[in-house]
Amino acid sequence: MPDQQKDATVHLSLDEVRDLAHAILTREGLGADHIGPVAETIVAGERDACASHGVYRLTNCIRTLRSGKVNPQAHPVVRPSASAVVRIDADGGFAQRAFDLGLPLLIEKARTHGIGLLAINHCVHFAALWPEVEAVVAHGLVALACTPSHAWVAPAGGTAPLFGTNPIAFGWPRPEGDPFIFDFATSAVARGEIELHRRTGKAIPEGWTIDADGNPTTDPEAGLSGALLTFGGHKGSALSAMVELIAGPLIGDMTSAESLAHDDGALASPYGGELVIAIDPEGILGDAAAGHVARAEALFTAIRAQGARLPSERRFAARRHTPQTGVDIPRALYEELAAFA
């Protein structure tokens, strides 16, 4: 590696990433039983070469902790609900600890009833959703997850921010090898992509944003003070509205507009609800389930035979080498985190 590139990055093993995350979260006053779950999300991001969901996200955690918009000592509790539903009140804490509490209950609901629904309320969500769906899929179940965020995205045909970037994630267990997992924002692009263009002074493609007057713009500055657009026009917009509804009011929690109002300029991570649905193929098909799940392999084989990729392939590929090779963190980010400390 050339010296210049070497200087621009700091090489860390995944254990060192974990130590870094633990050290920073401890210094920032996060409760002991939250540090592990939150740190593992950071490690998973680096392990999968998702730079935007790795160590970089610690800056969000720090900002959120310092703003007082997350409860560092939250004690998640189970609330009453119908028999196939698990409802967890995260007590204003980061979502990870609440999810860890809810996961075994959700698995049990899905195994007992064929389908189960996990509603996490009053949580701060700063991460991707694939850790959640992968955790469900590891039990041989099918998973669907979504969460609102902050109101940065305009509805199709609209002129101003209303929806969050509202990710949808899905997971399907495969008998061998990596599961089928996708996780995408219903916005045309991540807000961070536009910020990156602004910093480097580059125009953004059409279809990403509108300006404050609701007109299409390729100026990242104008786009950031206007609104992002959804992916896929009115269809993506409809899906984004669905996420607002089913991971918002349906589970008694905030919409993205309410989350942004709650933030009140703190620039903390979104606050509100998260919805995870788990389905047990055996609850539908009994003993025949394994045969049908195996039959789905023909679909994946056919996708690959066309030269197309399965979603998350790159993440799983990275996962096979980063435990040995470690990862490179931008030095500027590394020093920013150290300065915080």
Residues 263-322 that bind a copy of itself (CB under 8 A): 277, 279-286, 288-289, 292-293, 295-296, 298-299, 302-303, 306-309, 311
Only one of the segments 25-33, 48-56, 123-131, 154-162 lies at the binding site for a copy of itself (rule: CB under 8 A); that segment is 154-162
Within 105-134, the residues that bind a copy of itself by CB under 8 A are 112-117, 119
CA distances from 269 to 98, 149, 264, 301 (A): 16, 8, 12, 39
Report whether 120 contacts 98 (CB < 8 A).
Answer: yes
Total residues at interface with a copy of itself (CB under 8 A): 76
Q: Active site includes 193?
A: yes
Report whether 276 contacts 117 (CB < 8 A).
Answer: yes
Q: How many CB atoms lie within 10 A of CB 340?
A: 14
Taking the complex as a whole, how short is the minimal distance between the CB of residue 66 and a copy of itself, in angstroms? 30
Token reading at 36: 């592990």
Within 172-191, the residues that bind a copy of itself by CB under 8 A are 172, 180, 182, 184, 186
Q: Verify binding: residue 56, a copy of itself, rule CB under 8 A.
A: no
* Residue from 49, 85, 190, 196 binding a copy of itself (CB under 8 A): 85
CA distances from 124 to 13, 148, 239, 247, 339 (A): 28, 11, 22, 13, 24
Taking the complex as a whole, how short is the minimal distance between the CB of residue 64 and a copy of itself, in angstroms? 25
Report whether 87 contacts 79 (CB < 8 A).
Answer: yes
Closer to a copy of itself by CB, 115 or 318: give it.
115
**How many whole angstroms separate alpha carbon 176 and alpha carbon 301?**
13
Closer to a copy of itself by CB, 54 or 248: give it.
248
Candidates 193, 244, 258, 274; catalytic one: 193
Taking the complex as a whole, how short is the minimal distance between the CB of residue 8 and a copy of itself, in angstroms? 30
**How many whole angstroms separate alpha carbon 339 and alpha carbon 341?**
5
Site string for a copy of itself, 225-264 (x = CB under 8 A): ------xxxxxxxxx-xx-xxx-xxxxx--x-x-------
Closer to a copy of itself by CB, 46 or 89: give it.
89
Nearest in space to 65 (alpha carbons), one of 331, 205, 267: 267
Report whether 17 contacts 42 (CB < 8 A).
Answer: yes
**Catalytic residue numbers?**
52-53, 193
